[in-house]
Amino acid sequence: MSYFKTAMLLAGMTALFMGVGYLIGGASGAMIALVVAAAMNIFTYWNSDRMVLSMYGAQQVDERSAPDLVRMVAELAGRAGLPMPRVFIMDNPQPNAFATGRNPENAAVAVTTGLMQSLSREELAGVVAHELAHIKNHDTLLMTITATIAGAISMVAQFGMFFGGNRENNNGPGLIGSIALMILAPLGAMLVQMAISRTREYAADEMGARICGQPMWLASALGRIENAAHQVPNYEAERAPATAHMFIINPLSGQGMDNLFSTHPATANRVAALQRLAGEIGGGGASFGRPTPSPRGPWSGAPRGSGEPRARGPWG
């Protein structure tokens, strides 16, 4: 059902895009707009991962520089039946993560230093499994396409406003309708993009929970990330808000409800769905808000001052 909804939303966005092109230049304008969008999508298909990773200053790591993280990703990727993705770390205090890449063979998982420092191993595994679910579902390409089409609609609408739209409609109600659609079309595209993002987040939560085998690991992680996102700014995301939908939790601002302008479902709703899933498949772990006691930070062994050896940090 989620794929059907996504397909319908994509079809609606494409129709909206062609409608704006038609208002600007008639049938030929619609075709030109479609060709422009196709060219943008082709470019984005090959370069989206490099662009977004560079935007956030992500550095690729391996078993020598971040052994625990890379081994965790490898184990979960094996359980998901995926090839090993590239692993990146972003030097950012806000706990968050995203996946990118045009297909599972060219995918990447990126996590922030804040995420590694604030979550337990179990919670981090839940987050990584969620991102691997996006890769397995080909959501990384889907989100890129929707973002590109939404951007193209805004660009074409602004072009139409500048040149006055299709001259055949430049009188009376036709002109008013053209202007109204050119103003509302970018808004509509943004809403469709957000609806697709919310649909895919729920699907990735469920699959990610099944990959790691413990729905409550992810539920606990979502709560911690949500709380931190209210307090720790992500300046790179603020400068590029169009990428907000890629993260596991909205990096721009916390949303208390599934409202029309939210790129993500409400965290409480996602946690409730994971709690129901835990009841169905077992392996619920601790209840949300009262996680199994574990040292804060996935790379710590025994608590400080206990006299027991501690694990090495993520950079070896």
pLDDT in tens, 79-113: 999 999 999 999 999 999 999 988 899 999 999 99
Ranges of H-type helices in the chain: 2-55, 67-80, 113-118, 121-136, 139-163, 172-212, 215-231, 235-239, 267-281
The residue with greater pLDDT, 302 or 137, is 137
Q: What is the pLDDT of residue 163?
A: 53
Q: Which amino acid is at 84?
A: M
Q: What is the pLDDT of residues 139-180, one digit of tens each?
A: 887 777 776 676 667 666 666 655 555 545 444 445 565 566
Q: What is the pLDDT of residue 231?
A: 86
- Compute the mean pLDDT over every residue in the chain, rounded to the nearest whole number: 77
In sequence order, what are the beta bridge partners of 110?
A: 88, 98
The residue with greater pLDDT, 277 or 229, is 277
In sequence order, what are the beta bridge partners of 98?
A: 110, 247
Structural domain includes residue 212: yes
Structural domain includes residue 114: yes
CA distance 279 to 167: 61
Instruction: Take residue 284 and report the two structure tokens written for it.
Output: 């619920």
Residue from 120, 119, 142, 140 nearest 131 by CA: 140
Structural domain includes residue 313: no
Least confident residue range of 48-52, 251-255, 276-280? 251-255
Confidence of residue 212 (pLDDT cuts 50, 70, 90): very high
Q: What is the pLDDT of residue 109?
A: 97
Residue 112, helix vs strand vs coil: strand
Q: Which residue has the tokens 């078993």?
A: 63
Structural domain includes residue 52: yes
Structural domain includes residue 258: yes
Q: What is the pLDDT of residue 142?
A: 77
Q: Which domain, by its residues, includes 168?
A: 2-281
pTM of the model as a whole:
0.75
Q: Which amino acid is at 245?
A: H
Residue 130 marked as a ligand binder: yes
Structural domain includes residue 293: no
Q: What is the pLDDT of residue 296?
A: 45
Structural domain includes residue 307: no
High-pLDDT (> 90) share of the chain, %: 38
The residue with greater pLDDT, 243 or 262, is 243
Residue 134 marked as a ligand binder: yes
Backbone angles phi, psi at 61, to 5 degrees: -125, 165
Backbone angles phi, psi at 103, to 5 degrees: -160, 170
Q: What is the pLDDT of residues 257-298, one digit of tens each?
A: 444 456 688 899 999 999 999 998 875 444 333 333 344 444
| Number of separate domains in the chain | 1
Structural domain includes residue 301: no
Q: What is the pLDDT of residue 315?
A: 32
Residue 230 marked as a ligand binder: no
Q: Is 131 a catalytic residue?
A: yes
Q: Contact at 8 Å (CB) between 148 and 156?
A: no
Q: What is the pLDDT of residue 186?
A: 65
The residue with greater pLDDT, 24 or 61, is 61
| Candidates 75, 105, 122, 131; catalytic one | 131
Residue 154 is given by DSSP the state H
High-pLDDT (> 70) share of the chain, %: 67
Residue 171 is given by DSSP the state S
Q: What is the pLDDT of residue 31?
A: 85
Task: Give 18's contacts (C-beta < 8 A, 6+ positions apart).
Answer: 30, 33, 34
Q: What is the pLDDT of residue 305?
A: 39
